[in-house]
Chains A and B, each alone.
Chain A
């Protein structure tokens, strides 16, 4: 059974300039203990998807349609209090720019304790002990719990953030660009830690990133998002070995590969479209070298081309 199932989720922002269709009918599922990657360029709706799952969409944003089914229950039908019980206890999140997600005037340990005490009925001392154990688990000396965030390096802050996300033993951790601001060596250390903890604690992970190589190394299944829609969705190996959608192919080819330094990275012409007035038909058609009249008029839907490899493109699968 899937731990999380997102069906036809639509999250729109009602701005003065018009309705921004940030997430426009996407569906995916995450199985227990698996890592799912959501990839795409900035502004494609990746982070909005994460915030929708966490129930953190604020005005002028609104979830207008769809279901978010977690352990068999639709989160969108829950009350605020019920959601508070699920957030952090069952689903937690590592935010983008976690380096700045700590409050600079409180000790790191106290901030983790605060998260624990909000959800669990234990004493302050017990919570502090737990915070120290969590820090130890992510490779930070427990005595550093007394430090303030500025006394931590970037990588340590990110580790402490992971400790905080795991403080209430969640089943699903959503990591939004967890390593984007980090150097490559620190990034490797943080990703290795996440992988290790995923195995040890049987966590499910939803990893959001613009960096396909990070997703390739972490995830079991991957969805590529473009302008509010999923254009391709498959297990990681088939997606990276046999990408079908012209956008997925383009995105994969736009990355230089250190194993193949002579290979020329290819760019995709044009810009991602505005989400207020997305192009009709296939949203990628203005940038697609293979676009036909049909692409300009009719919107393609995700089609299974075998082995649970889904593609939304008129050129593929009839």
Chain B
């Protein structure tokens, strides 16, 4: 399949804000290594899952892909075009093709705007629709696509009059109204009640087929990712540690961190006895990440090599990449 997004050596370091005293007496600038050399491709029509613990850099990666933050290094190619080289009008045109769905529909919708105004905003920014009537027709179509029917019941409602699930549907309608090709969805169901999460996931799958979308799905919930995504990448302290087809990765994880992560996911079955993996320590500090493999202080298999040399991200099986010295010849 054609790649839609190609990410190469992407890096983002955030400077650490310091107090006055250390600004005067110490010259050494410190950086949070949020994303530290990440490369992958997303094919057309894929749901690409990016999973990891909080602070691993998954959200920053998602924002970089849409150029919502500028990178420190590296490139992102969208249909072969480097999005960081674009400017002005060209960037504006590209932005139509990539949109975002945010985590919290209680914060991502302007409380002072009606549903109609919220969904209309992208249209007026990109000057789509000749007149009011034509715009309204597009808005109707979108509300119907996200199953807020009949649309006239929702047009003049404010976000506080909607339930969490309905708000997220409005946010999705706003994201797809420009008919984008690529959508970054950052934990879109984690704030919703469990009984309605599945309906939002179903909607996302339906819209993907209907509008030929490609998703980057950012999540910490591996159960949801294992159901939804075709491909899954696991991130730890700013780096990808493993990438592969979801089923491969979930059933047969290679990297010790992936194994640990999967073994920690609770399962809704009181009789299930799993292979016990003892979990050591806590996530390292992204300001001074450990040398060598970043996971080595917590890894039960760490050798001297792991403490010194950073492992490459190698393809060990068909389409299954892992960054671990245990799997490198």
Interface residues of A (CB under 8 A from B): 41-42, 153, 155-156, 183-189, 191, 210-214, 216-217, 219, 236-237, 240-241, 250-252, 254-259, 261-269, 271-272
In whole Å, how far is A48's beta carbon from the nearest beta carbon of chain B? 17
- Quick one: CB contact mask for B194-217 with A, threshold 8 Å, 1 for yes? 111111011000000000000000
The answer to whether A267 and B199 have CB atoms under 8 Å apart is yes
Report the number of A-B residue pairs with Cβ-Cβ less than 8 Å: 123
Point out the residue from B199, B226, B282 that lies within 8 Å of A258, measured CB to CB: B226
B264 CB contacts on chain A under 8 angstroms: 184-185, 187-188
B202 CB contacts on chain A under 8 angstroms: 267
The answer to whether B261 and A251 have CB atoms under 8 Å apart is no
The answer to whether A216 and B222 have CB atoms under 8 Å apart is no
Given A189-B279, A256-B226, A265-B227, the answer on whether A184 and B268 have CB atoms closer than 8 Å is no
The answer to whether A256 and B227 have CB atoms under 8 Å apart is yes
B249 (CB) vs chain A CBs: closest residue: A261
Given A185-B279, A267-B196, A267-B197, the answer on whether A258 and B270 have CB atoms closer than 8 Å is no
Chain A to chain B contacts (Cβ below 8 Å), 12 pairs: A41-B193, A41-B194, A156-B282, A188-B263, A237-B271, A240-B269, A254-B194, A257-B269, A261-B247, A263-B227, A267-B197, A271-B196
B205 (CB) vs chain A CBs: closest residue: A264
B16 CB contacts on chain A under 8 angstroms: none
The answer to whether A187 and B266 have CB atoms under 8 Å apart is yes
The answer to whether B198 and A241 have CB atoms under 8 Å apart is no
B54 CB contacts on chain A under 8 angstroms: 183
The answer to whether B195 and A267 have CB atoms under 8 Å apart is yes
Complex CA–CA separation, A242 to B7 (angstroms): 47
In whole Å, how far is A227's beta carbon from the nearest beta carbon of chain B? 12
Interface size of B by CB at 8 A reads 40
The answer to whether B198 and A213 have CB atoms under 8 Å apart is no
B299 CB contacts on chain A under 8 angstroms: none
Point out the residue from A184, A210, A241 that lies within 8 Å of B261, measured CB to CB: A184
A210 (CB) vs chain B CBs: closest residue: B194
B193 CB contacts on chain A under 8 angstroms: 41-42, 210, 272
B262 (CB) vs chain A CBs: closest residue: A258
Cβ of B1 within 8 Å of any chain A Cβ, yes or no, is no
The answer to whether A184 and B197 have CB atoms under 8 Å apart is no
In whole Å, how far is B85's beta carbon from the nearest beta carbon of chain A? 36
Point out the residue from B199, B224, B268 that lies within 8 Å of A252, measured CB to CB: B268
Kindly name the residue among B201, B247, B264, B279 whose own CB sees the greatest number of chain A CB atoms within 10 A: B264
B271 CB contacts on chain A under 8 angstroms: 237, 240-241
A41 (CB) vs chain B CBs: closest residue: B193
B260 CB contacts on chain A under 8 angstroms: 185
Complex CA–CA separation, A267 to B205 (angstroms): 14
The answer to whether B195 and A250 have CB atoms under 8 Å apart is yes
A259 CB contacts on chain B under 8 angstroms: 267, 269, 272
A235 (CB) vs chain B CBs: closest residue: B270
The answer to whether A256 and B223 have CB atoms under 8 Å apart is yes
Complex CA–CA separation, A269 to B197 (angstroms): 11
B265 CB contacts on chain A under 8 angstroms: 184, 213, 258
A259 (CB) vs chain B CBs: closest residue: B267
Cβ of B135 within 8 Å of any chain A Cβ, yes or no, is no
In whole Å, how far is A195's beta carbon from the nearest beta carbon of chain B? 12
A-B contact sample (13 more), CB < 8 A, given A185-B261, A191-B266: A184-B264, A185-B264, A211-B194, A212-B268, A213-B266, A240-B268, A254-B198, A255-B268, A258-B262, A264-B227, A265-B227, A267-B197, A268-B195
In whole Å, how far is A295's beta carbon from the nearest beta carbon of chain B? 18
B199 CB contacts on chain A under 8 angstroms: 267, 269
In whole Å, how far is A271's beta carbon from the nearest beta carbon of chain B? 5
A254 CB contacts on chain B under 8 angstroms: 194-195, 197-198
A240 (CB) vs chain B CBs: closest residue: B270
- Quick one: CB contact mask for B239-267 with A, threshold 8 Å, 1 for yes? 00000001100110000000011111111
A261 CB contacts on chain B under 8 angstroms: 226-227, 246-247, 250-251
Point out the residue from A156, A183, A186, A255 that lies within 8 Å of B194, measured CB to CB: A255
Given A184-B53, A185-B53, the answer on whether A257 and B195 have CB atoms closer than 8 Å is no
B53 (CB) vs chain A CBs: closest residue: A183
Complex CA–CA separation, A214 to B264 (angstroms): 11
The answer to whether B279 and A188 have CB atoms under 8 Å apart is yes
A265 CB contacts on chain B under 8 angstroms: 197-198, 201, 227
Complex CA–CA separation, A155 to B282 (angstroms): 9
Complex CA–CA separation, A41 to B53 (angstroms): 24
B250 (CB) vs chain A CBs: closest residue: A261
Complex CA–CA separation, A278 to B322 (angstroms): 53
Cβ of B220 within 8 Å of any chain A Cβ, yes or no, is yes
A272 CB contacts on chain B under 8 angstroms: 193, 195
Point out the residue from A183, A213, A219, A250 that lies within 8 Å of B267, measured CB to CB: A213
The answer to whether B224 and A256 have CB atoms under 8 Å apart is yes
B268 CB contacts on chain A under 8 angstroms: 212-213, 216, 240, 252, 255, 257
A154 (CB) vs chain B CBs: closest residue: B54
In whole Å, how far is A228's beta carbon from the nearest beta carbon of chain B? 16
Cβ of B22 within 8 Å of any chain A Cβ, yes or no, is no
